[in-house]
Structure 1
Amino acid sequence: MSSRSNTRRSNESNTEGEQKQEDAQEKHASIKNLAREYPMATEAIVNWRNYIRDVFAEYFIANPLAIGGPGHVVEIDESAFVKRKCNVGRAVRTQWVFGCIDVESKHGFLVAVPQRDAATLLPILQQYVLPGTTVVSDLWGAYNTINNLGYHHLTVNHSLHFVDPATHATTNHVESMWSRAKLRNRRECGTHRQLLDSYLIEFMWRLQFNGDPFENLLTHIRNLYPL
């Protein structure tokens, strides 16, 4: 096996345990599994899940997400969540999502964007990522001026390697995040475009409260609806 493959596997090993745990939680929480385990109509389960996502959204309104900072590494990337498969089927507009993950805290954000230019992506980066952060990306042109925004910018040329041999910069963590974020889509045959924002908010919340999501959910409901 090449050293390139060994390096990539080594960098991904830190997230394998977390991914398996999240995969198990997501599989258990799928609508089909919930409908089999509990005597509730599918419509009721969908309504409850939408209500819980409203709780997640209210949490982030009250507690705006801010990640990174001096000494932190944040990996950024964009990924297509809605597109035609192999250019087959009815014409649909590709829906891009801009996201990042803090390698240290494992917190991150995902935001649906209309396009992938600098005017769209960089203000979102500044909204969520604190100054002084080391930001790692690929060579997408929209990221060329990140160094001018108060960040230390490292890049990876994916046509040559997965980990930069000089700086050891990698985007393996954010690529792993995309894999986890899209897992539910594969299990439930996709997410309706109108519900994509709420799904992304749910995923962001799960990243932040993966250790004890149920207890944190109850706490947030109590805070949102005090007796």
Structure 2
Amino acid sequence: MWNLSDIVRELGTNEQCVRYSEDEGLVLKERKCGKHKTNMKISYSSGCKSLGTFICAKASCKGKAGGSGVKISRRQGTFFENVTLDMPYIYYLIYAYSQGWSYNQTIHEDPYKRQRQQCLSSNTICDWYNYCREVVVIYYLEKQNQFTGKIGGPGKIVQIDESKFGKRKYNKGRHIQGHWVLGMIEDGSEDLRLEVCPDNIRSAEVLVSLIQRHVAAGTTIHTDCWRAYDCLAEHGYTHKKVNHSDPDNPFVAEDGTHTQRIESQWRAVKRFFRKQNYNNSQSFTDVIVEYLWRRNVEKFKKDPFKEIMRAIKHMYKIN
């Protein structure tokens, strides 16, 4: 597992970052001139921002601006394209994101602030966290669709529940503005599925469509008494309900039906949102996917920094 000392020791200089980027396949080690079809040389500028530039040494290319294969930045087409931040800082911010650090913790732990005599800005951290979240979301969703099948099936139970994420408006009683999220988890499994309800609609049409995306036909589904679930039996599921309004036992039905496991998942998800101090409604769905990615990394005891690298390589295929 990478730790902060590893980051400073292994990625504390531009030269180390360039070598690591090459070894990890994040930048090209070689490139052929588009005109001559021969290998180009790599030229480095001074400073901590350079990944190098491919330059053709052929006389007919020297001194020309533009044109195929004359001068091409090694950043082109990579995760680092159009980036002006020093390379050691880029890897530090990727590491900080992988650890789930808050902006304040990232500023506090910054190992380079003394030598730069300047702290990272919250805007810079926000931008890089968004860059990292983007690759994580794309990677997780594509891998989930490619390798992960549906949960449930004949003889299996899947608990389903919805929860609303947002801030309570205290001057409006119990009204909460936010997003409805549908959660699904199979008994005996840690494979949690979350879907944001489109346009905050919890109709039968919307919920059944989301359930069919993740839950195999023939599954026994446990829900509360929300009326949108009443048609599940018509779609190939066995449907059992628990009435949370039952004054005698609001948690478990007489036949043992309950949704306690999926309901317990909401506490962890909402704790993650509170820790992130999340308030950007436009990227709400991405943060939900980020939570699932982090949960998966922790579940399988993976190194989050290495998993970020894996996601970047998946999104920016340079070979």
Shorter chain as normaliser: what TM range?
0.7 to 0.9
| Aligned: 1:69 with 2:152 | yes
* 1:124 pairs with one of 197, 206, 210: 210
Task: Please say if residues 110 and 200 of structure 1, whose CA atoms lie closer than 8 Å, have aligned partners that are also in contact.
Answer: yes
| Aligned: 1:97 with 2:177 | no
> C-alpha displacement at 1:94, in angstroms?
4.2
Q: Deviations over 1:5-55 (max 9, x none)?
A: xxxxxxxxxxxxxxxxxxxx9995223222221253322322222122212
- Higher share in helix: 1
> C-alpha displacement at 1:83, in angstroms?
4.5
User: Aligned partner of 1:69: which letter?
Assistant: G
In structure 1, the residue matched to 2:132 is: 52
CA distance in 2, matches of 1:27, 1:58: 19
In structure 1, the residue matched to 2:243 is: 157
Q: Note the aligned Cα RMSD (angstroms).
A: 2.8
Cα distance 1:26–1:48, how it changes in 2: closer, same or farther (>3 A)? Answer: closer
In structure 1, the residue matched to 2:264 is: 176
In structure 2, the residue matched to 1:22 is: none
| Aligned: 1:84 with 2:168 | yes
The secondary structure found in structure 1 opposite 2:182 is strand
> C-alpha displacement at 1:123, in angstroms?
0.5
Task: Please say if residues 67 and 102 of structure 1, whose CA atoms lie closer than 8 Å, have aligned partners that are also in contact.
Answer: no
Cα distance 1:204–1:188, how it changes in 2: closer, same or farther (>3 A)? Answer: closer
User: Aligned partner of 1:105: which letter?
Assistant: S
Q: Deviations over 1:59-99 (max 9, x none)?
A: 2135325431324432211111124333449x985432222
> C-alpha displacement at 1:139, in angstroms?
0.8
User: Aligned partner of 1:48: which letter?
Assistant: W
CA distance in 2, matches of 1:87, 1:96: 21
Cα distance 1:141–1:209, how it changes in 2: closer, same or farther (>3 A)? Answer: same
CA distance in 2, matches of 1:52, 1:72: 36
Q: TM-score, normalised by structure 1?
A: 0.75
* 1:192 pairs with one of 270, 276, 280: 280
The secondary structure found in structure 2 opposite 1:209 is helix
Cα distance 1:156–1:92, how it changes in 2: closer, same or farther (>3 A)? Answer: closer
In structure 1, the residue matched to 2:291 is: 203
| Alignment map for 1:33-48 (pairs within 5 Å) | 33-38=105-110, 39=113, 40-48=120-128
Cα distance 1:72–1:81, how it changes in 2: closer, same or farther (>3 A)? Answer: same
Query: Identity over aligned residues, as a percent?
Result: 30
The secondary structure found in structure 2 opposite 1:130 is coil
Task: Please say if residues 169 and 177 of structure 2, whose CA atoms lie closer than 8 Å, have aligned partners that are also in contact.
Answer: no
In structure 1, the residue matched to 2:225 is: 139
CA distance in 1, matches of 2:225, 2:176: 27
| Aligned: 1:148 with 2:234 | yes
In structure 2, the residue matched to 1:8 is: none
Task: Please say if residues 160 and 183 of structure 2, whose CA atoms lie closer than 8 Å, have aligned partners that are also in contact.
Answer: yes
CA distance in 2, matches of 1:101, 1:66: 13
Cα distance 1:191–1:176, how it changes in 2: closer, same or farther (>3 A)? Answer: farther
The secondary structure found in structure 1 opposite 2:142 is helix
Task: Please say if residues 150 and 213 of structure 2, whose CA atoms lie closer than 8 Å, have aligned partners that are also in contact.
Answer: no
> C-alpha displacement at 1:141, in angstroms?
0.5
Cα distance 1:43–1:62, how it changes in 2: closer, same or farther (>3 A)? Answer: same
The secondary structure found in structure 2 opposite 1:63 is helix
In structure 1, the residue matched to 2:31 is: none
Judge which range, 120-129 or 32-41, deviates more.
32-41
The secondary structure found in structure 2 opposite 1:116 is coil
Q: TM-score, normalised by structure 2?
A: 0.55
> C-alpha displacement at 1:188, in angstroms?
4.1
In structure 2, the residue matched to 1:30 is: 102
